[in-house]
Amino acid sequence: MRCEVVAVGTELLLGQIVDTNSSWIGEQLALVGIDSLRQTKVGDNMDRIVAVLTEAVERAEAVIVCGGLGPTQDDITRDAIARVMGVELDLDDAVAARIEAMFGGRGRRMPMNNLRQAEVPVGATAIADPQPGTAPGLICPFTRPGPDGEPVAKVIYAVPGVPYEMKEIMTRAILPDLSARAGVTAAIRSRTLRTWGESESGLAERLADRMDTIDRAAAAGRSGVTIAFLASGIEGLKVRLTAKAPTAEEAEALLAEEEAEVRAVLGPDLVFGIDDETMESAVLGLLGRAGLTLALAESLTGGLAASRVTDVPGASRSFRGAVVSYASEVKHDLLDVPDGPVVSAAAAEAMASGARRTLGADVGLAFTGVAGPDPQDGEAPGTVFVGLDLAGEVTSVRLQLPGDRLRVRQFSVISGLGLLRTRLAARLDGEADAGDLQARSMPAWGSTET
C-alpha cells in the first residue's frame, strides 16, 4: 500500500513551527512496511487543502493528514476531508458528550465552538484522544473510480497537530488499521544503538564488512535485517537495526542477534545506549551500579549539564548538585581554583575537585572554556577544558569544539558526560588503564588529555 503525509498549517509554511510530525510519521510507516511516497505542507486554506488531498488520493491508497482539527475557524481539515469524500459532516454524539464531560470535569464552561471537533464526515470513524486534548482523530474510508471505472478503496486518516496527541493516536489506532488494510502480516521491529565518539563515515567503515554480509544474505533471501545510520547532531550517531520476520518473536530474535554482532564490531566504548537512552541516563545508571554520587561545576555550560542530568527520573539517587561558577571570583572563592587563567586544564581540575569536596560527592565533573565569540585567557572560541575527579583520581581533557555559543556549550556537556561514562565503565569492568577508552570517548574533531 502506498501512503502520503499531508501537514496542515500556515505556521508551518512561515517557519514559525518546525514540522517534526511528518518525519516521525514517515519513520513509523517505514517500520510497519508501508511505502511512504511523498510529504506535503499546506496552509489553512480550504481550496488548497482540498486540492492537495485530491492529488494525494489519486497517487496513493492512504493519506495521513496532520493538524487542523481544533475548534477555531481556521481548523478546516475535517471540512476539507468531507469535501474530498463527497459527503457531509455529521455531529458524533459520543464525541460531543466526551468533550462536554472533559470541560465539566475541570469545572469550566465549554465554548460552543468546541463542538466543531465532534463533527465527523459521514462514513468516518472518530478516534477518541485519551490525552488532555479534545481533538479526536479520524479514519475516513471511501472509494474513488479507478482508471477502468471500477471503485478503488481509499482511506484518509486525520490526527491532531499536537505531537504527543498525534503519536498516541497513530500508535494505538491508525498504524494497526493501516497495516490491516495493507494486508501486512510480517512483524517489523527496530532497535537503535546510540553511539558517541565516531563520525558517520567512521561508523560506516567499521561496519562495512558486516553490512556486506547482510547484503549477501538478503540477496540470497536469508536475511530480514537492515542497518541504517542516523545523524543526531549533539546527541551523536544512531545505528538503527530493523528486522522483518513472520512473527514478532522471530523479529526480536533477529534483532538481538544483529545487535550482538554490531556491538562486537563497535565495542563498548562507542555504544552508550539503545533506543531512547541518553548519555546522561547511561552515566546515572553507571553511577548507581558503582554506588557513587556526582557533583558538577559549570562555567561556560551555565547549568546545562545539571539540567540534562536532572531530566532523568531518579537522578536524585546519584546526583548531589551543581555549582554554576560563571564568574572567575566564584571559581576562586567557592571551588578553591588557584589564581591564574580560568580557561585551563588546572582550573578545570580544581573545579572538579572543588565541586566534589563542596557538595560531598564521590565524583566531580567540571566544564570551563570559551563559548565565544571573543577569545579568553589566550584561548580561541570553542576551546573547552573538561575536568574529572573520580574518587581522588584527577584528570582533564582539552577540546576544540565547532559551532556557535550554543553548540559549543551543548557539545561540551555531552563530551564531558562521555568522558565520565567511559571512566566509570572502565572502573566497573576492572580495567587497569582507561586511557584508550577515554581518548575514544571524545568527539571526532579531537581532544588532548592533560
Q: Calculate the alpha carbon distances from 412 to 52, 62, 276, 286, 448 in Å.
A: 44, 44, 21, 20, 14
Q: What mean pLDDT comes out for the span 384-391?
A: 97
Query: Which DSSP string corresponds to 310-343?
Result: HTSTTGGGTEEEEEE--SHHHHHHHH-PPSS-SS
Q: Is-contact 80 53, C-beta < 8 A?
A: yes
How high is the pLDDT of residue 94? 81
pLDDT digits (tens, 9 = 90+) for 134-153: 578 999 999 999 888 899 99
Asked if 288 and 394 sit in the same domain, the reply is: yes
How high is the pLDDT of residue 222? 76
Rounded distance between C-alpha atoms, residue 435 and residue 410, angstroms: 24
How high is the pLDDT of residue 435? 42
Asked if 136 and 199 sit in the same domain, the reply is: no
Rounded distance between C-alpha atoms, residue 33 and residue 4, angstroms: 14
Asked if 176 and 196 sit in the same domain, the reply is: no
How high is the pLDDT of residue 100? 73
pLDDT for residue 442 is more than 60: no
Report which DSSP code applies to 42. Answer: E
Asked if 286 and 262 sit in the same domain, the reply is: no
Asked if 247 and 288 sit in the same domain, the reply is: no
Q: How confident is the model at residue 432 (pLDDT cuts 50, 70, 90)?
A: very low
- The residues, ordered by sequence, that sit 6+ positions from 201 with a Cβ below 8 Å of its Cβ are none
Q: How confident is the model at residue 433 (pLDDT cuts 50, 70, 90)?
A: very low
pLDDT for residue 445 is more than 70: no
Cβ of 58: how many Cβ atoms within 10 Å? 10
C-alpha cell, 320 = 548531589
How high is the pLDDT of residue 330? 95
Q: Strand order in 187-195's β-sheet?
A: 225-231, 237-245, 187-195, 271-274
Q: Report how many domains make up the chain.
A: 3
pLDDT digits (tens, 9 = 90+) for 187-219: 888 899 999 988 888 999 999 999 999 888 877
How high is the pLDDT of residue 232? 80
The residue ranges of DSSP E strands in 75-149, in sequence order, are 89-91, 119-121, 125-127, 137-145
Asked if 258 and 318 sit in the same domain, the reply is: no
Q: How confident is the model at residue 448 (pLDDT cuts 50, 70, 90)?
A: low
pLDDT for residue 449 is more than 60: no
Domain span including residue 343 = 279-449
pLDDT digits (tens, 9 = 90+) for 22-77: 999 998 998 888 888 899 999 999 999 999 999 999 999 999 999 999 887 888 99
* 50-56 own/partner pairs: CB under 8 Å, 24+ apart: 50/80, 50/83, 50/84, 52/6, 53/6, 53/80, 53/81, 53/84, 53/156, 54/84, 56/4, 56/6
pLDDT digits (tens, 9 = 90+) for 390-416: 999 999 999 999 999 999 999 999 999
Asked if 146 and 21 sit in the same domain, the reply is: yes
Percent of the chain with pLDDT over 90: 69
Q: Is-contact 330 438, C-beta < 8 A?
A: no
Domain boundary among 119, 148, 182: 182
Domain boundary among 182, 213, 236: 182
How high is the pLDDT of residue 130? 56
**Residue count (the chain):** 450
Percent of the chain with pLDDT over 70: 91
pLDDT digits (tens, 9 = 90+) for 308-317: 999 999 999 9
- The residues, ordered by sequence, that sit 6+ positions from 165 with a Cβ below 8 Å of its Cβ are 129, 131, 133, 135, 159
pLDDT digits (tens, 9 = 90+) for 71-113: 878 889 999 999 999 999 998 888 777 777 777 666 666 666 6
Domain boundary among 256, 274, 292: 274
Q: What mean pLDDT comes out for the span 253-277?
A: 93
Asked if 284 and 270 sit in the same domain, the reply is: no
What does the mean pLDDT of the chain come to?
89
- The residues, ordered by sequence, that sit 6+ positions from 127 with a Cβ below 8 Å of its Cβ are 136, 137, 138, 139, 169, 172, 173, 174
Asked if 48 and 141 sit in the same domain, the reply is: yes
